[in-house]
Structure 1
Amino acid sequence: MVGMAILQPVVALAAWTMVMWFWLYGSRLSSFGKADPEELIDDPHVALDHILPPQTEWKAHNYRHLLQDPVIFYAISITLAIIGQGDGLNAQIGWAYVVLRVLHSIVQSTFNQMVPRFALYALSSFCLMFLVARAALVMF
């Protein structure tokens, strides 16, 4: 199928998001013993971020991040596939985006250092901008 190769990294990133879901809930379940459930119920201003260890919540933050910018990746990748432009360089950039997002997840979820996280995020954003520009050039 012509133009469909970009859908492979789409599926890979969706699968990685599910891996992060399991990692998030696995770490939260093991940390819930440190939380007072009554505090969560009685005070609407208390969030898990203030109760659970930061290392636990890093995974939650990353899971939320995987539901933000990647939505643009999914939409633009499907657009490129529909217009027959999802092969070649576009597919390679799609894979680069996924690899960078996975690395970003690992950094944020393990040691959470700002400089490597930002570098990975910026590089992945440039990949996304490239794909949007490529689709725009064909569409307009």
Structure 2
Amino acid sequence: MNFLNEPNVLAPVLALILWSLVVWVWMYATRIPAMLKAKIPPQDARFPGSLDVLPDNVRQVADNYNHLFEQPTIFYALAVYTYLTAGVGPLTCGLAWAYVGLRVIHSLVQGTVNIVNLRFLVFAASTLVLIAWALIEACALLNR
């Protein structure tokens, strides 16, 4: 498969995986210094919510990292389904890249300004992309 000349639904999958790893680095680059500053021993972080005392700008990056393992699971499953059923085309690839772009924007909004209405708008747009893509695949299945 030539990734540059053919529609490729797996490249956006790799891109979102790489973005999730970037957010992981961002999370620990903010969390560890904040824990040191607050004098929180690592063992005290063993229970969910125990780091809620950290500043908002630290917590919101960690929250976003967790969000990258919630709805994107649908994206990953849909991309694999599309690939395995040979449903890959310019439209599905465009939708996959649109989803990744919207998730990156969502991460940047949540990790920086964290304006909930803006974050929700981006989240809703990414959800609509998944819905459209899933409906395209469902229609294709019904027409086979």
TM-score, structure 1 normalization: 0.89
| Counterpart selection for 2:15 from 9, 12, 16 | 12
Higher RCO (CA 8 Å, separation ≥ 6 residues) = 1
Match of 1:89 among 73, 85, 91: 91
From 121, 128, 137, the equivalent of 1:135 is 137
- Report the more deviating stretch, 2-11 or 86-95: 2-11
- Of 108, 115, 118, which residue of structure 2 is paired with 1:116? 118
Q: CA RMSD in A?
A: 2.4
| Counterpart for residue 37 of structure 2 | 34
Q: Distance in 1 between matches of 2:100 and 2:136?
A: 17
Aligned length: 139
Unaligned runs of 5+ in 1: none
Q: Give structure 1 regions of 4+ aligned residues with deviation exceeding 6 angstroms.
A: none
Q: In 1, distance between residues paired with 2:56 and 2:37?
A: 12
Higher helix share: 1
The answer for unaligned runs of 5 or more in structure 2 is none
Deviation of residue 46 (structure 1)? 5.5
Moved more, 12-21 or 84-93: 84-93
Tell me, yes or no, if the aligned pair for 1:4 and 1:81 is still in contact at 8 Å: no
Letter in 2 for 1:11: L
Is the contact between residue 27 and residue 62 of structure 2 (CA under 8 Å) also seen in structure 1? yes
1:49-91 deviations in Å (ceiling 9; x for gaps): 1x21010010000000000000100000110011111221010
Identity of paired residues, percent? 35
Seen in structure 2, the aligned counterparts of structure 1 residues 87 and 36 have a Cα distance that, compared at 3 Å, is: same
Contact 1:5/1:86 (8 A) holds in 2: yes
**Structure 2 partner of 1:101:** 103
In 2, Cα distance between equivalents of 1:33 and 1:113:
27
Shift of 1:4: 6.0
